Structure 1
Amino acid sequence: MNWNYPFGSTEYFFIFFFVFVYTTYIIRTIRVARQLKTTARTIIIKLFLRSITLGLLIISLLGPSFGEAERQISAKGKDIYLVVDLSRSMDAADVNPSRLEKVKFELNHFIQNQRANKIGIIIFSNDAFVQVPLTYDAAALELFIQSLQTDLLPTSGTNICGAVELAYTKLMSTTDPTSRSKMIITFTDGENGNDCSRSLYNNLRRFGVGNYIVAVGTPNGISIRNQGKPLLDENGNIVVSKLGTGFLKSFAGNTKGNYYELNNAKNDINKLIGDVTNADGTLIDSRTVTVASNKYYYFLGAALILLLLDVLITIGTFRL
């Protein structure tokens, strides 16, 4: 039998307390019995019963383990590119505190739940760039996520197709492109999105690249602030940024992907995490380990039964 916890001060305290209290009880009982000119031998039965109960409780505290069992543990990994829209419209505040700030918060939440996967980051507006190549380094990813700003890129726009095309190219450029499961997760408001080429749709479906679209914003939209004032177009009209729901749903449907929403009223990030976690991954490690489980409840159950018997059984210690 193995023990999960060492015999320590807690167990010594309970034993000392039990011995002290029961010694006081026995001395008092014997003294009363002598005054009444009778015996108190029957208290030995209670002492025996309660000593066993104390022993069982201490054993359960120590966490006894026995009965070894073998368990197969497998680790499955995926290659994931996070594609983040850094166009000016991502500064819109129809999602608190802004679309981009909300995305950054949820990206960190996502990464914390994907420790077994390699993750990279691609940023885009009109053009797309790899900010972080595929890595297991969650700390580095979180550091780069905090640095995301809409002024990182020289031009503004929303070329989703080019960004996803770059992510697909990077995923398939490995030595063995079919060796690991591959996913692309795009965070964008989809504004002014244009339909992508059929070859991109076909390639994503053909090679089983998971396509996950996270739509950030609201259909009603909001004006974009520029130095504290509403941003104006070339005609002097206030620019209102609206979520491109139709295009994003169509993009997800054409690639047999999944569509999610992220705004003040709806947050599908936990659903996204669940879908990515439950998606089939590629086996990267498998081993058999020996597990010894804590069987404290057997001894605790026996102690509770003895306590019940102790309450139900009445023993006279002296005659009146």
Structure 2
Amino acid sequence: MIWAYPDVRLTLLLAGIFCLLYFIYLSRYWAINRRLKVEKRRLFTKIVIRTCYFILFLIAFAGPSIGTAMKEIQEEGKDIFIAVDLSQSMNASDIGPSRLQRIKFELKNLTKSFPSDRIGLIIFSSEAFLQCPLTFDQSVLQLYIDGLNTGLVPNFGTDLNAPLRLALERFESDESQEIKSKSIILISDGENFGDELDNIGASLNDLGVKVFSLGIGTESGSSIPRGNGLVIDPQTGRPAQTVLDPAPLQQIAAETNGQYFEISDQVQEAGNLIGALERLEGGVTGSRVVEASANKYFYFLLAGLILSLLDMILPIKTIKL
């Protein structure tokens, strides 16, 4: 028999407390009824019943497991690249305190949900750069997320192709022999000034890479702060406005059998993104055989409860008048 909680000291302590309290109870009972005729046989029966169900409770508390079996456990893993748009439009405050600050908050929660998977970080605007390669190190990843700002990349518009091609190259050049599921989280307001996404979508799909896109912003949009002023549209001479454009993000998600999610004034779907990634079947990286046993505490607990209920419902008379 295997015990899930083999704490002998605690078991003996509980048994000692029971014996002490029950001895005090019997002493007081005997003192009160010393002048009455007491049926010792019935009193002894009462002691036996209560002792039995207390012992059964102690056994159930220790978690007995009877019998063993060999069980194969498969180890699964995922490789996830997070691509974050750091164009000037991510400083817009239509999603408070700003689009980028909100994304940094959500990314910290997201990465903590996948401690056993490799996660990498790509930053982009008109160009894309590998900020953090695929890693299991959560603390390093958190430091890179804390440091995200729009000054890290050149800002000449947003090209959604750039981070997707960089992630694809990294997946193709990965020397790991383990078979893992591969996915990209593409985070942007969706304003794409680069090439069409058809070609990169087909390439990602051929490699089995799913893109889960997360759009952030509102349809009404916002002006874009820069320093102490605003970004000015050179064509109109007025403050430039940035709005959420979900179309390209929805397109690349659909082409790679991924999903599109959104953070806006209408919906807050960061939690749904985490749920979709958790449901994503990871590749089998290995397996191991372990010895498993079934915990049978319930049977002892049930027997103890039955005896205790009988003790309460059908009391044994110990005093004969």
Query: 1:162 & 1:21 partners in 2: Cα distance?
Result: 75
Q: Secondary structure at the match of 2:111?
A: helix
Give yes or no for the alignment of 1:154 onto 2:154: yes
Letter in 1 for 2:187: F
Paired residues of 1:84 and 1:124 also in contact (CA < 8 A):
yes
Structure-2 residue corresponding to 1:229: 229
Query: 1:79 & 1:248 partners in 2: Cα distance?
Result: 20
Query: 2:220 & 2:95 partners in 1: Cα distance?
Result: 12
1:310, distance to aligned residue in structure 2 (A): 0.8
Give yes or no for the alignment of 1:124 onto 2:129: no
Is the deviation greater in 134-143 or in 267-276? 267-276
Structure-2 residue corresponding to 1:302: 303
1:200-226 deviations in Å (ceiling 9; x for gaps): 222122222212211111111111222
1:78, distance to aligned residue in structure 2 (A): 2.4
Query: 1:175 & 1:85 partners in 2: Cα distance?
Result: 27
1:114, distance to aligned residue in structure 2 (A): 1.9
* CA RMSD in angstroms, aligned pairs only: 2.4
Structure-2 residue corresponding to 1:316: 317
Distance change (3 Å), C-alpha of 1:319 and 1:283: closer
**Residue segments in structure 2 that go unaligned for 5+ positions in a row:** none
Q: Secondary structure at the match of 2:295?
A: coil
1:105, distance to aligned residue in structure 2 (A): 1.6
Is the deviation greater in 233-242 or in 269-278? 269-278
Structure-2 residue corresponding to 1:196: 196
Structure-2 residue corresponding to 1:248: 249
1:99, distance to aligned residue in structure 2 (A): 0.8
Structure-2 residue corresponding to 1:213: 213
Which structure 2 residues correspond to residues 95-106 of structure 1 after superposition, within 5 A? Answer: 95-106=95-106
1:88-119 deviations in Å (ceiling 9; x for gaps): 00011111221111111222222112223222
Distance change (3 Å), C-alpha of 1:254 and 1:303: closer
Paired residues of 1:125 and 1:156 also in contact (CA < 8 A):
yes
Query: 1:18 & 1:132 partners in 2: Cα distance?
Result: 59
Structure-1 residue corresponding to 2:93: 93
Letter in 2 for 1:173: S
Aligned residues: 320
Distance change (3 Å), C-alpha of 1:256 and 1:309: closer
Structure-2 residue corresponding to 1:281: 282
**Residue segments in structure 1 that go unaligned for 5+ positions in a row:** none
Letter in 2 for 1:257: G
Query: 1:15 & 1:223 partners in 2: Cα distance?
Result: 72
Q: Secondary structure at the match of 1:184?
A: strand
Query: 2:137 & 2:225 partners in 1: Cα distance?
Result: 35
Letter in 1 for 2:128: A
1:275-301 deviations in Å (ceiling 9; x for gaps): 223223321111111123432222111
Is the deviation greater in 32-41 or in 51-60? 32-41
1:165-218 deviations in Å (ceiling 9; x for gaps): 121122112347994332221100112444425432221222222122111111
Letter in 2 for 1:300: L
Structure-2 residue corresponding to 1:141: 141
Paired residues of 2:160 and 2:192 also in contact (CA < 8 A):
no
Paired residues of 1:75 and 1:116 also in contact (CA < 8 A):
no
1:131, distance to aligned residue in structure 2 (A): 0.9
1:252-288 deviations in Å (ceiling 9; x for gaps): 3344432111234422222222222322332111111
Query: 1:311 & 1:81 partners in 2: Cα distance?
Result: 63
Paired residues of 1:70 and 1:291 also in contact (CA < 8 A):
yes
Paired residues of 1:33 and 1:40 also in contact (CA < 8 A):
no
Is the deviation greater in 267-276 or in 54-63? 267-276
Query: 1:199 & 1:36 partners in 2: Cα distance?
Result: 98
Is the deviation greater in 289-298 or in 46-55? 289-298
Letter in 1 for 2:2: N
Structure-2 residue corresponding to 1:58: 58
Q: Secondary structure at the match of 2:289?
A: strand
Paired residues of 2:66 and 2:296 also in contact (CA < 8 A):
yes
Is the deviation greater in 10-19 or in 111-120? 10-19
Paired residues of 1:29 and 1:40 also in contact (CA < 8 A):
no
Query: 1:188 & 1:299 partners in 2: Cα distance?
Result: 57
Letter in 1 for 2:145: I
Query: 2:125 & 2:161 partners in 1: Cα distance?
Result: 11
1:34-55 deviations in Å (ceiling 9; x for gaps): 5235643320010111111111
Distance change (3 Å), C-alpha of 1:158 and 1:303: same
Query: 1:37 & 1:207 partners in 2: Cα distance?
Result: 89
